Amino acid sequence: MNRETRQKSRKQLSRRWRRALLANLALVIGLAASTAAATPITVGGAGGPALQIDPIYFKGFNQFGLTGPGAHADYFATSPVPFLAAGGAAGMDLTVAPDLFKPPFQHPQHPSNSRNPNTNGGVPTAPTNAVPFVADSRWIITNTSGRALDDVLLLFTKTSGATGYPSVDVALDDFLYDTLEYHSQTAGTLYYGALPLGDLAPGKQVSVLVRYVVADALLLSGTNYVIPPFGLSGLAKGSYVPEPATAMLLAAGLAGIGLRAPRARR
C-alpha cells in the first residue's frame, strides 16, 4: 500500500469512526448529527488516469488559513503555542526536501507535459477550479531541531508570496490532509492543513506525500512553470489536542453502547 493510499485510508477510517460515534450520540441524547458536505471533483481521465480529489482552498494568496475545516477539524490548538520552524532554509526545526513527481498529474497550461495530455482537448488553457493543475511531490522531513519531538504535525498555513508570485488560488486535497483548528489571539479561528509525522528523534527522517492543487495560471520562469510555495510550520505533542468533540463523542458513544447492551440481552 503506497503512502497516498495509506493517507486516504486513514482519513476514511477516521470519518467512519466519527460517524459511528455520532450515531451512538444521537441514540443517547436524541440529537441529529451531521458532517460538512464534501465537494470532491474528478481530475484526469483525459488520455491518462483519473483521480478524485476534495479541494479546500486557502482564504487568499499569502493569507493564513483555509476557507474551512473540510469534513471536520482533526486537531485543535489555542494561541500561544510554540510553533516549530519548517522549510528548506538553514536553521529550521523541520527541514523539508521536496521531490516533485514528473510529469504532473494534470497540467492545463501544458497538457502534453502531463499524465493527461488530452486535458481541454490538448489545448493549453489556464487552470480553473473545475480543471485545476494537480501535481504530487514526495517530501523528506528531517528533525534538525537537536531534540526529540513527539507526535509532530507538519502544518500548511498559507501559500507564500515571498517569491513575487502572482495571486493564485491554491487548495489542499482533503482526502490526503488532516485539518488543525487554530484559535489565534489576533486573527480569530484559522484552519491549517496538517500531516502527522509521528515521533522524530534528532536527525530522524520521514517521508510524506504532498499534493498541489492550483486553480490559476502558474508562473512561467523561462521554459519552466513554477508551483507556488507553501507557508509551513509545525507543532509537537503538548501544543495541540485531537479535535475536542472527539473525546465527548467517544464518551457519549460508549454510554450509548452500554445503554443498549442490557436491552439486547432481554
β-strand pairing of 84-87 with 94-100: parallel
DSSP letter for 102, please. S
* CATH code for the domain in which residue 247 is found: 2.60.40.290
How high is the pLDDT of residue 160? 85
Find out whether the peptide bond into 80 is cis, omega within 30 degrees of 0. Answer: yes
DSSP letter for 66, please. B
How high is the pLDDT of residue 171? 97
Residue 115: inside a domain, yes or no? no
Q: For residues 133 and 119, what is the distance between their CA atoms, to the nearest angstrom?
A: 10
Residue 79: inside a domain, yes or no? yes
Residue 37: inside a domain, yes or no? yes
- Phi and psi at residue 109, in whole multiples of 5°? -75, -25
pTM metric for this prediction: 0.80
Residue 45: inside a domain, yes or no? yes
Grouping H, G, I as helix, E, B as strand and the rest as coil, residue 265 is helix
- Phi and psi at residue 2, in whole multiples of 5°? -80, 175
How high is the pLDDT of residue 98? 97
Residue 135: inside a domain, yes or no? yes
Give the residue numbers spanning the domain of 33.
3-103+131-254
- Whether the CB-CB separation of 196 and 176 falls below 8 Å is answered with no
Q: How far is CA 233 from the centre of its chain?
A: 13
**E-state strands within 13-129:** 41-44, 50-53, 55-57, 75-78, 84-87, 94-100
The Cβ of residue 157 has, within 10 Å, a number of other Cβ atoms equal to 23
How high is the pLDDT of residue 10? 57
Residues of the chain with pLDDT under 70: 1-38, 162-163, 244-266
Residue 119: inside a domain, yes or no? no
Residue 222: inside a domain, yes or no? yes
Residue 167: inside a domain, yes or no? yes
For residue 246 the three cell numbers come to 472527539
Number of domains in the chain: 1
Residue-wise pLDDT for 87-101, tens only, equals 999 999 999 999 999
How high is the pLDDT of residue 39? 84
Terminal CA-CA length for the chain: 44
How high is the pLDDT of residue 22? 44
How high is the pLDDT of residue 244? 60
